[in-house]
């Protein structure tokens, strides 16, 4: 798959993943905590791989254009 996640998008995804992991430890409800961990894994994976399948569906590309 072609990369479609830019640097800023990647940083935001990693920060959101970190926040969701922290929420997992703070929340008393384990079901919501599990959902937070699953979302964090998805966000971190798409940030590292720099490819988001959802962006393909909506034809969004946040990669910086080369000059």
pLDDT along the chain (67 residues), means of 10: 92 97 91 95 96 91 84
Alpha-carbon torsion, ordered 56, 6, 48, 54, to 10 deg:
-20
pLDDT recorded at residue 23: 93
pLDDT recorded at residue 58: 93
pLDDT recorded at residue 67: 72
pLDDT recorded at residue 16: 98
CA distance 55 to 53: 5
pLDDT recorded at residue 1: 81
């Amino acid at each position: 798959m072609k990369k479609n996640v830019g640097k800023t998008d990647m940083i935001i995804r990693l920060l959101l993943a970190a926040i969701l992991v922290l929420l997992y430890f703070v929340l008393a409800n384990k079901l919501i905590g599990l959902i937070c961990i699953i979302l964090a894994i998805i966000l971190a994976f798409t940030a590292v791989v720099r490819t988001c399948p959802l962006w393909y569906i909506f034809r969004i590309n946040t990669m910086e254009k080369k000059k």
